Structure 1
Amino acid sequence: MADLYEPDVGTAYYRSNDPLKNLRFRVTLKRITSTSIVPQAQNKSEDDDVELQSVDQKSSVQSDEEQMVILWQEKVFGQREIDLYSNADNCYNVMDQKYFEDVSKLLEKGRPTNRIFSYVDHDSFSNQDETLNYMTSSAKEKPSNLAKNMAHIRRRRIGGRQAKERELGIIPKTNIVVADPSDERIAKNHIDAPPMQVMYIMADLSPREQPASEESENILCSLHVDAHGVLSIRPDFNRGRKAYIIETGTLGKEVFEYTIEHASKPMNRLEQEKEMKMYREVYTRHKEFLQACVGSEFEMPPPDVLRLLVFGELEMAKDFDSDNIYIQFFIDLPKDWYAESPQQLSWVTQTCQLKTKGQNNIAHFGFPFQVELFYKREIITEENKDVMPHFPIIYVEVLSLDSWQRYRTEGYTYFSLPGKPGTSYETQDCWRPLKDSVVSNLRRFFIGGSPELEFPTYTAIPSTFDGSHLSKFGFRTETTGSVCMRFNTMLQSRMFVQKKSNKKSLGALLDNLGITSQQASVASVIEAFKKARLKMLQARESATRTLLKDDDDNENTKKQ
């Protein structure tokens, strides 16, 4: 609880959708040094003895307390600024002239004696270097080279002269392109600093009887607002915590305490409801605008057609004997599949060297590809009604080519495009044809060249095969390495729109498209079988317990 009562001297961050001009805060400053609470001495008229006055705080002690409510970017002049801008000779620009007029009007009503004042965004104090801050209180600390080079760079402000030029379309008279920029210009024009506004709440802690000086000005609070509407305040609002303590650097070592409270006008219930209604209208209009930009409906495939969109990546190949390998692969479209627009269906990767990781030799390709295919089943007849359709197949051939231009076939494999939407990662082992001859192995090692497949579709079941049995008996192969691919698959059909209304599963929809649920979701069938089997076992156990309980009741009745 003690920590909750202690003041928070760190930086606090706030975000609000309301305009900053409504922000206001209350600052209270009070002197708490011993000179204001110790009784003063006085001389007695009867003799020369010194006697202390009676402690009467209400009458003898002069209270030095001040309270002020300040708006965001409200300029409150301090004593030193009043002395400075009261003289017209100290005014050099338009802002100084404006301050001179404001101070003149202020002095006509009487000179103020306030200690609390403010520096706003366009004051010279706010434009001083804010980056050169020391990390310790040691007098021997020296800034780093980076701090020295960044000290003179000023962050861009929100608004100002540049904003007016952009609004009015002012064209600069000088050439904005510098052929030979200096180091200072490069540093100023190549710093990516977000636009921001600053404000400082200050206090003049100099004695009343002495003229105000810049050394006696102390920062009570600093506020920063960036272009995203985030307000940072240091230190944070007190909100019931202890007051902050500040000590002067003069000989008297005066000590002051101050508090900072949020004093913005709260919104009543009617205003809050009105604001929420306005926000809802704005969001509704923005939603309608986005809907008008997108359109009333997305592009849909023709009726009874399934669109298959695959974004794939050939990630790597591993455990091959030869170095400098590359891969060529293509997509073979089965029956009833077609590509609507002319697109690339075969690819060749770059040559990649093997890198040893652990016990594996890995070649990282990272080769992306994409394909858009369509499926529409033809008229179902008695001859083909039981034919199971297949998804397209990617046939892969791994090759190598070394610096001596020795060309070798390293392996064959194939991938089936996923029939389920989502991301999938597959790894397939490769093999290559093998001749039972020493001459063939010597030729492959010394001059390159190896047996190849005339038709790469022989790796799997060729799409042109119409027989009932495919025999590869006697074909000799040798296991080589493996290839890894990643697939990001999307399926689109008009029937998917009616999924919720008709309560159809994905398997039933694919059945209507000609893709059987046995092929699309075998796992769901197995899962349903497991659930049914579990229910049967539970029913059997329940029936057994009921029969045993009835037998025990009958035996107890006979004994009685």
Structure 2
Amino acid sequence: MADSWNTDTGEAVYRSRDAVKNLKIRVRIERVTSTAALSQHLQQHVLSQQDGGAIELETLTPQGQKGDNDEELVVGWQEKLFSQYEMELFQNESACQTPLDRQYLTEIRALNKAKGRRNHRIFTYTDHDRFTSCLPIQQLQYPTDLLTTTKSGPTFLAERMASVRNRRQERRTLDSSIPKSKIVIWEPTEEFVKNSHVVNNAMQTMHIMADLAPPGRLGQKENEYLLLTIKTDGSGTVIVKPDFNKGKEPYRIVTVGQKREVWRLNVENVCTAMQPEEKEREQNMYKDLYVRHKEYLNSLVGQDFEMPPLGILRYMMNGEIVSAKGFEYDNLYIHFFMELPNNWSSLPYQSHSGVTQTCRAKTLGKENVAFFSYPFSFEAFYMSEKESEEPILQWPVIYFKVLSLDSWQRYRTEGYGYLLFPAIPGMLCTLQ
């Protein structure tokens, strides 16, 4: 039996264009080591041997409630299913601290007046619940063959290493700003990127849980076990942990305690498949949308290519000052300007000069390199005095002046350079 368990409890990432509200998941749990099933088997064996004591044995037989040994539910995205603990907690108005708690109080009272909740052991924590972001760590760890782990204290080696691994924490001001002496982190750690990264898609989380307590003892927090975690963002990414069974063996859950009961878990995706007619209609809609967007872009660009006047060469240059290396001082910046020879002109609003930002150098090997990555563009016109096929006699020149800035805001000239406007596109030029 031990070989028929699914031990791959890693997360799976799915991408879908459909709305996440249509997500439906069937969850089934089944007790494998059941003391109730064993007592029932022994009782039937005794009843088959002696008929006289049948009434007495049936009287002493405990009547199990529906869902004690197995349960199957279809759960929708962010569908709230209350646990026995929540049913008892939110019946008291004094325990309701937030508007969400008072909403749960109203829903639970409505459930009690009706037929009751449709779930017995399986329940959910939605993204708005207070328990979603603060579940115990032992409920969120997946070892190789179990879905939950027991509570374990730190080992002797872990306690000794705790003092060694302590690092000096980065001091931040009251407004959580980084000191100006350490503006750029050249080798950021994974934790620094996680805490400082701006582009962070907000994920919505949902936990499907189960109360695996013995029959008659439901409603205790220590008996709650995590079955499934679902996360999604606004871009159509859905993360499921563990993955759907997809015909594979079920997962195994081992409870904590003296009995250490074993439960079987099956997770299936039961979303309604799109009909072929609806799928074709959706594809046609996307095609129509793409065609309209393409027509809109073409209307912005226009169909006619803008030609220069007769006898005039239009020169457009898009360049980038990438880096500077080999200079003595730090805090470098570059001042550049263009010189146009005879028969060359530019537009009245066209700037002929520019200044890069101040950049600190980074050591690469034996060189100190300052990376600017400064883009610039320039447009010029050449007008020929007479019609001829002779090449252009003189090209415009771009001059560079490298300067450094010290702590007293004084600048020093570090070097000069010049470059002719390239006649071939896509050239990488290096100035010595």
Give the match for residue 63 of structure 2.
none
In the aligned structure 2, how far is the partner of 1:4 from the partner of 1:333?
83
Matched, 1:377 2:376: no
Aligned AA for 1:205?
A: L
| Identity between Structure 1 and Structure 2 (%) | 31
Q: Alignment partner of 2:422: what SS?
A: coil
Q: 1:362 to 1:15 in 2, by over 3 A?
A: closer
Matched, 1:389 2:397: no
Corresponding residue pairs, total: 359
Q: Does the 8 A contact of 2:30 with 2:265 survive in 1? A: yes
Task: Pick one of 276, 284, 289 that aligns with 1:282.
Answer: 289
Give the match for residue 229 of structure 1.
236
Q: Alignment partner of 1:240: what SS?
A: coil
Task: Pick one of 422, 425, 430 that aligns with 2:428.
Answer: 425
In the aligned structure 2, how far is the partner of 1:399 from the partner of 1:285?
50
Residue 373 (structure 1) shift: 1.2
Q: 1:329 to 1:363 in 2, by over 3 A?
A: farther
Q: Does the 8 A contact of 1:394 with 1:417 survive in 2? A: yes
Q: Does the 8 A contact of 2:6 with 2:252 survive in 1? A: no
In the aligned structure 2, how far is the partner of 1:250 from the partner of 1:296?
74
Give the match for residue 12 of structure 1.
12
Deviations 1:310-369 (A, max 9, x none): 22548658799xxx9x998753425x43323364557899999x999999x999796876
**Higher CA-based Rg:** 1
Residue 204 (structure 1) shift: 1.1
Give the match for residue 40 of structure 1.
42
Task: Pick one of 64, 68, 76 that aligns with 1:71.
Answer: 76
Deviations 1:422-465 (A, max 9, x none): 2x1245xxxxxxxxxxxxxxxxxxxxxxxxxxxxxxxxxxxxxx
Give the match for residue 25 of structure 2.
25
In the aligned structure 1, how far is the partner of 2:326 from the partner of 2:101?
74
Task: Pick one of 133, 153, 162 that aligns with 1:139.
Answer: 153
TM (norm. structure 1) is 0.52
Matched, 1:241 2:244: no
Q: 1:391 to 1:274 in 2, by over 3 A?
A: farther
Residue 85 (structure 1) shift: 3.3
Q: Alignment partner of 1:124: what SS?
A: coil
Give the match for residue 345 of structure 2.
338
Deviations 1:215-249 (A, max 9, x none): 11111001112233322111111111111111122
Q: 1:261 to 1:391 in 2, by over 3 A?
A: farther
Q: Alignment partner of 1:101: what SS?
A: helix
Residue 88 (structure 1) shift: 4.8
In the aligned structure 1, how far is the partner of 2:389 from the partner of 2:74?
86
RMSD after superposition:
5.1
In the aligned structure 1, how far is the partner of 2:176 from the partner of 2:390?
77
Q: 1:4 to 1:364 in 2, by over 3 A?
A: farther
Give the match for residue 518 of structure 1.
none
Q: 1:31 to 1:130 in 2, by over 3 A?
A: closer
Deviations 1:159-198 (A, max 9, x none): xxxxxxxxxxxxxxxxxxxx97799xxxxx9996643321
Structure with the bigger percentage of helix: 1
Q: Alignment partner of 2:21: what SS?
A: helix
Q: 1:307 to 1:105 in 2, by over 3 A?
A: same
Task: Pick one of 195, 198, 211 that aligns with 1:204.
Answer: 211
In the aligned structure 2, how far is the partner of 1:24 from the partner of 1:204?
21
Matched, 1:266 2:279: no
Task: Pick one of 114, 119, 122 that aligns with 2:125.
Answer: 119
Which segment drifts farther, 3-12 or 129-138? 129-138
Q: Alignment partner of 1:10: what SS?
A: coil
Aligned AA for 2:422?
A: P
Q: Alignment partner of 1:257: what SS?
A: strand
Q: Does the 8 A contact of 1:224 with 1:232 survive in 2? A: yes
Gaps of 5+ in 1: 49-61, 149-178, 184-188, 402-406, 428-482, 485-560
Residue 31 (structure 1) shift: 0.7
Q: Does the 8 A contact of 2:211 with 2:218 survive in 1? A: no
Q: Alignment partner of 2:210: what SS?
A: strand
Q: 1:333 to 1:298 in 2, by over 3 A?
A: farther
Aligned AA for 2:26?
A: R
Residue 129 (structure 1) shift: 6.1
Aligned AA for 2:242?
A: P
Q: Alignment partner of 1:17: what SS?
A: coil
Residue 203 (structure 1) shift: 0.8
User: 1:340-419 counterparts in 2 under 5 A?
Assistant: 340-341=347-348, 343-345=350-352, 370-380=377-387, 385=388, 387-390=390-393, 392-394=395-397, 415-419=419-423
Give the match for residue 302 of structure 1.
308
Aligned AA for 1:119?
A: Y
